Amino acid sequence: SSPLIKNMNNTDLERFKRIAITLDRYKRMPAVMPEKYIWVNLPSYYMQVYDADTVVLESKIIIGKPQTRTPLLYSVISDMVTYPTWTVPNSIIKKQYLPKLKANPYYLSNIGLKLMDSKGEIIDPGTVNWSKYTKGIPYKVVQGSGDDNALGVLKFNFSNPYMVYLHDTNERYLFKNASRALSHGCVRVEKWDKLAYYIARNDSMNLKEGDSLKYNTDSIRTWLENKEKKRIGVKNGIPLFIAYFSCEAKNGKIRFYDDVYGEDKLMREKYFSAK
């Protein structure tokens, strides 16, 4: 929609409705928030790390497109992986890759992806009869770790049923865009390194007596420099909220964001349709 239409929709009444919807969302948050947590607000395209009510880190993020939206959830960061491999989701294989494989069985190899069977053996795509598959394929499509990897050089895992995570990206130039709903559902974090070091320092500071930690900020740096794939178990899991607040108070003013997934529109129709 054109900027003019957007401005016409930004009447005081519309703003009042959006504030009311947002306050309603705040009500559904826990009465007491954790002392430390990661706050991802999708419409703002920002992630913040809160520590004792202070924002200690703020980073631009890229979120899912409206067609492949990032889910709203509450979880806890459980581990980090340096130089991760990426397993391509089935939805991408079905929509984007299958038609191309039928035309050229080596299409995946040409874009740096490997085909693996259930045992983890690498399959020659030229030996597969691609014409018989329509809904998906009985193989995994994996992108090896490295600087070209879609996940970048570090990812943050947390338990969730949607197969999403926070990660770096090999398309870092996209953080310059004002509208950043561009991913297949995962959240790309511009300051992924600062987030990793914050988690590492938090683990170091909260070490119980007699306990030892298998990593620190220096070892993460070393693994990244050496391009080593490592899974780093996080001892003090940091809570993560992926939320949808289309307005928020910033420096004494209320900032309004685009209703990127149309969530406010749904709520508005539900609550205000007769008013």
| Residue positions annotated with a catalytic role | 167, 186
CA distance 67 to 74: 21
CA distance 98 to 39: 37
Other CB atoms within a 10 A radius of the CB of residue 147 amount to 9
CA distance 191 to 18: 30
Nearest Cα residue to 114 out of 150, 149, 142, 74: 142
CA distance 164 to 158: 8
Strands, E, within the chain: which ranges? 36-41, 46-51, 54-64, 73-82, 86-87, 113-116, 140-143, 154-158, 166-167, 181-183, 187-189, 230-233, 239-243, 247-250, 253-256
**Identity at 196, one-letter amino acid code:** A
140-143 and 73-82 strand pairing: unpaired
Residue located via tokens 């984007």: 96
Element (H, E) at 98: helix 98-103
Q: Which pair of structure tokens corresponds to residue 86?
A: 């990426």
CA distance 141 to 16: 48
Which residues, 6+ apart, have CB-to-CB distance to 16 below 8 Å?
none
